[in-house]
Amino acid sequence: MKFMPKTLKIGAHLQTTGGLDNAVRRAEEIGLNCLQLFGASPRQWNVKEPNLSAIEKFKEAKKAAGLEEVYLHAAYLVNLASPDSEIAHKSEENLKAHFKITKALDADGLIFHIGSGKDSPKDEAMKKVASAVRRILEDVDGRAKIVLENSAGGGQKLGSFPEEIGEILKIIDSKRAAACFDTAHGLEAGLMFQYDDDSVRDFIKRWDKTVGWKNTPVIHANDSKTASDSHRDQHENIGNGHIGISGFENMAKFKELIDKTWIMEVPGFDGNGPDKENADILKKCMKQVLVI
């Protein structure tokens, strides 16, 4: 049976140079109806919150553009699973600060990398992450979700496998905790050798059983510069990597995925980040398939 949502939700992670509202305008120029951005520096522990004027400008631009959904991405420094108590504490405080910005911008959620417990047993590291997320959710109310992203693997990183993400979500036990599936990370972690029809079908069943597509509002739509099981997180433009056009077409066939928010984090064909060419290619992949 053919199933297509009324509106495909396609976005990208865009720069906020010159103001948060500039990311909205850039999304309009590219032809996107969703957006991902940083609410503060992704490379600093100290978080500079946007002032009220910047927040209002962003919300006005968002409303005028008619964006379907907006997500923020957390700082790269965050590692809630760290065995170093100081790093773990700083990570929790930093993530909480970014989550407060998410709420202030009336965004849909904050996506973060789960981190690594290093030499700690994985079950202990996962409980540590879950406890931190629960505290943040208790401290920051509202509708926004904290979203756990799958990893490319390597270095004892958590979230390489959907079973780990599912277990963390189970421990958190909150409707405000969710998951994001990154296509490049999935390949790089070795979840699939390639994005052929059978592999995608099997993966969709595995993710649904462990994480649940109902708990997964976002897909990071990225091609990969590196092959399956490389554990090297390197994104490529849509169609130019190891996933390829056919891989994205195969994903878009399934009703479990087609209605998600697809957000690109690609280098861009001009090297300046997500662009209209990537957006047009992804739209074509999603519109030319029979959804099953």
In a domain, 225, yes or no: yes
- Domain-embedded: residue 277: yes
Alpha-carbon distance values, 13 to 43, 266, 279 (Å): 16, 8, 12
CA distance 51 to 31: 28
Domain contains 292: no
111 membership: H or E segment, kind and range: strand 109-113
Does some domain include residue 4?
no
Helix ranges restricted to H, 112-196? 122-139, 162-172, 183-188
Let me know: does 133 contact 172? Beta carbons within 8 Å: yes
32 three-class SS: coil
CB proximity list for 193: less than 8 A, separation 6 or greater:
199, 228, 229
Question: How far, CA to CA in Å, does 187 sit from each of 50, 166, 211, 220?
Answer: 36, 19, 17, 12
Closest CA to 34 of 63, 73, 71, 74: 71
Tell whether 139 is covered by a domain. Answer: yes
Where in the sequence is the domain holding 89, given as residue range(s)?
9-287
Give me 197's structure tokens.
Answer: 């029809």
The backbone torsions φ and ψ at residue 112, rounded to the nearest 5 degrees and listed phi first, read -140, 155
Alpha helices (H) along the chain: 20-30, 52-65, 85-104, 122-139, 162-172, 183-188, 197-210, 244-252, 255-258, 276-287
Please report which helix (H) or strand (E) contains residue 25, including its range: helix 20-30
Q: From the CA atom positions of the chain, what is the Rg in Å? A: 18
Cα 44 from Cα 252, distance rounded (Å): 36
pLDDT of residue 4: 56
Euclidean distance between CA atoms 271 and 16, whole angstroms: 17
DSSP code, position 114 = -
Question: Alpha-carbon distance 190 to 153, whole Å?
Answer: 8
How do strand 235-236 and strand 223-224 relate by DSSP bridges?
antiparallel
Can you give the pLDDT at residue 130?
A: 98
Question: Is 3 within the bounds of a domain?
Answer: no
Residue 134 belongs to some domain of the structure: yes
Q: What is the DSSP string of 257-278?
A: HHTSEEEE----TTSSSS-HHH
Question: Which CATH number characterizes residue 115's domain?
Answer: 3.20.20.150
Alpha carbon 199 to chain centroid distance?
Answer: 21
Q: What stretches in the chain show pLDDT beneath 50? A: 1-2
The strand pair at 218-220 and 109-113 is best described as unpaired
| Residue 211 domain flag | yes
Question: Number of folded domains in the chain?
Answer: 1
Contacts of 249 (CB under 8 A, 6+ apart): 285, 288, 289
